[in-house]
Amino acid sequence: MFTLASTAVKEPTLAVGTATSSLADSAVEPQLPPSPPLSSSQFSVASQQPSEPVLRLLRLLRSLKEGSEIAQSPWDKQPLLRNEYTELWKRLEEEADLKAWVELKLRYDYDYDTQHFIIRMPTLLHERFIVQVVARLRAQLEAIAGANAELRHIVDAVYEQGSWTVPLGNIAESVPRQEDGEEEKCNNARSPDHAFGYKDARWPSLVLEVSYSQKRQDLSDIAYNYVQGSGGSIKTVVGLDVEYTRPGKASKTKMATANVWRYKLVRDEEGEKAGDCVQDIKDESFRSHSGDSSSGNLAFTLADFIPNSILRTLSATAARDIPITIPFEHLCADLDEAEAAQASTRSRSGLSNTPPRKWVKRVREPAEEEEMDTPRERKYQALEDREERKVAQKDKDYVPPGSSTLKTVGIEAAAATPRRMGVLRRSMRRSRALEEG
């Protein structure tokens, strides 16, 4: 914004009587000056500001990407309405690096029903434990393939899927459109701890989740969401519930339990067949409060890993019921090992390399100011340019009284300080960008 010189420019003054008689005697109707243009505030980018929940979530995502949120909960539920979830992805379009990180690195869920954005930050304990469980299941699948020639090519098509975002519901089927015609990025999405898929299958057949106190109460709904959202293609959901203890706090219990849900056809209240997610195993303890292993097995069959369309091609029905089990004793040992690994990391007592006494210093050259542009700055620059064009279009026919001299002064001032204006506009853009987070 320019500050014009305080020198007033006087207008020639006409006598009131003279002006009145001239207008009255003239046959030409008086020409009123054109109305002033709409204020530029009507084109302000203030309306482009994110809603507060989206703004708060964007700040958190940037912090997580930079690694500055080290005390993040393993299961963080953020309230986010469906339209705000759509808005979040529109905002991420403006930050390519952050969007890529969210899509490729972040483990998150969006619950369309409860309208929550859930950030998963698994600990070493959970990652180490799930890897051990998956390795035991894989070993038994390979044993089945080696012992049965007919099943070998089928079992070999089973593969492990790490943490990836599984689209469920309308995301997977048909994306709904909003009233303005734009696609709405919503409905449920889940990032399982691990899964077993099948070659060319749309969804995994079996999903594994490690749960803890924050996640435990949601696990039943998560299982139903997997099964219903995939149309029954996700047939089995396994929840291994372990106790999570924050750093510096003592564990209240060593109890660990297993839960299993499966897709089944049942009769509804009207007597018609309907799909459902039925809990076959509920809170079965595989480790006691004191840390001792329980007796029993976590039991599966080959059918839990193979799509139904493939199972129907098997000549022997009994092949579907080939058992795949993990003794609770082994689950307990795997969990003990994972807890020991996490304790070692927290206490910094594990094996590590002896660091050198000196490091070579790396000198980084500072980037020029013009190169410090960000996607958000470019967005606001484009909005400002568009706003100025609209204002200029409205202004072109409007010449306020005595503006010729002022206009000349303004043009000379603008010509004299192009560099200053560039810096000013860049500073304004950065101020707006910083307001977003």
Q: What is the pTM of this model?
A: 0.67
Which tens digit of pLDDT belongs to each residue from 243-272? 877 776 777 889 999 999 999 999 888 889
Q: Which residue has the higher pLDDT, 425 or 227?
A: 227
When the pLDDT of each residue in the chain is averaged and rounded to a whole number, the result is 77
Does residue 116 sit in helix, strand or coil? strand
Query: Is 15's pLDDT higher than 50?
Result: no
Residue 208 lies in a domain: yes
Residue 4 lies in a domain: no
For residue 214, the model assigns a pLDDT of: 66
Q: Mark whether 172 and 284 lie in a shared domain.
A: yes
Between CA 224 and CA 144 the distance in angstroms is: 30
Residue carrying structure tokens 């293609």: 233
17 CB-contact burial (10 Å; exposed 0-12 / middle 13-18 / buried 19+): exposed
For residue 206, the model assigns a pLDDT of: 96
154 CB-contact burial (10 Å; exposed 0-12 / middle 13-18 / buried 19+): buried
Which tens digit of pLDDT belongs to each residue from 140-150? 999 999 998 88
Closest CA to 32 of 41, 44, 23: 23
Helix, strand counts (H, E) of the chain: 13, 13
CA distances from 355 to 130, 349, 359 (A): 31, 15, 9
Q: Mark whether 338 and 272 lie in a shared domain.
A: yes
Phi, psi of 217 (to 5 degrees): -70, -20
Residue 394 lies in a domain: no
Domain endpoint, select from 309, 330, 347: 347
Q: Which residue has the higher pLDDT, 355 or 381?
A: 355
Q: What percent of the chain has pLDDT over 90?
A: 41
Q: What percent of the chain has pLDDT over 70?
A: 68
Residue 30 lies in a domain: no
Between CA 203 and CA 141 the distance in angstroms is: 19
Instruction: Specify the range with the lowest mean pLDDT, choosing from 70-74, 112-116, 147-151, 231-235.
Output: 70-74
Q: How confident is the model at residue 185 (pLDDT cuts 50, 70, 90)?
A: very low
Domain endpoint, select from 332, 347, 362: 347
Instruction: Specify the range with the lowest mean pLDDT, choosing from 14-28, 103-117, 380-394.
Output: 14-28
Q: Which residue has the higher pLDDT, 35 or 271?
A: 271
Which tens digit of pLDDT belongs to each residue from 357-399? 999 988 877 655 444 455 556 666 677 777 777 766 765 555 5
Q: Mark whether 336 and 204 lie in a shared domain.
A: yes
Query: Is 205's pLDDT higher than 50?
Result: yes
Q: Which residue range is the domain that position 97 belongs to?
A: 47-104
Average pLDDT over residues 43-60: 75
Q: What angle do CA 216, 303, 241 make, to 5 degrees?
A: 15
Domain endpoint, select from 73, 104, 135: 104
Average pLDDT over residues 211-233: 87
Q: Which residue has the higher pLDDT, 254 or 50?
A: 254
Q: Mark whether 142 and 264 lie in a shared domain.
A: yes
For residue 278, the model assigns a pLDDT of: 95
Q: Mark whether 63 and 190 lie in a shared domain.
A: no
Q: Mark whether 74 and 183 lie in a shared domain.
A: no
Q: Mark whether 79 and 132 lie in a shared domain.
A: no
CA neighbours within 13 Å on the CB side: how many for 54? 17
Give the best-scoring range by mean pLDDT among 69-73, 106-110, 188-192, 303-307: 303-307
Average pLDDT over residues 353-358: 90
For residue 253, the model assigns a pLDDT of: 86
Which tens digit of pLDDT belongs to each residue from 57-106? 999 999 988 887 666 778 888 899 999 999 999 999 999 999 999 988 88
Q: How confident is the model at residue 431 (pLDDT cuts 50, 70, 90)?
A: low
Q: How confident is the model at residue 413 (pLDDT cuts 50, 70, 90)?
A: very low
Q: Which two tokens stand for residue 241?
A: 């519930």
Residue 59 lies in a domain: yes
Count the domains in the chain.
2
For residue 399, the model assigns a pLDDT of: 55
Give the best-scoring range by mean pLDDT among 28-32, 185-189, 395-399: 185-189
Residue 14 lies in a domain: no
Query: Is 211's pLDDT higher than 90?
Result: no
Q: Mark whether 98 and 201 lie in a shared domain.
A: no
Residue 378 lies in a domain: no
**H or E element: which one contains 392?**
helix 375-395
CA distances from 314 to 308, 379, 432 (A): 10, 58, 63
Average pLDDT over residues 150-171: 83
Residue 276 lies in a domain: yes
DSSP 274: E
State the pairing for strand pair 256-267/323-327: unpaired
**Looking at this protein, which amino acid is placed at residue 154?**
I
Q: Mark whether 99 and 197 lie in a shared domain.
A: no
Q: How confident is the model at residue 198 (pLDDT cuts 50, 70, 90)?
A: very high
Q: Mark whether 226 and 265 lie in a shared domain.
A: yes
Q: Mark whether 237 and 318 lie in a shared domain.
A: yes
For residue 331, the model assigns a pLDDT of: 96
For residue 367, the model assigns a pLDDT of: 56
Q: Mark whether 54 and 179 lie in a shared domain.
A: no
For residue 24, the model assigns a pLDDT of: 42
Query: Is 192's pLDDT higher than 60?
Result: yes
Which tens digit of pLDDT belongs to each residue from 307-335? 999 998 887 766 888 999 999 999 999 99
Between CA 98 and CA 61 the distance in angstroms is: 8
For residue 35, the model assigns a pLDDT of: 46
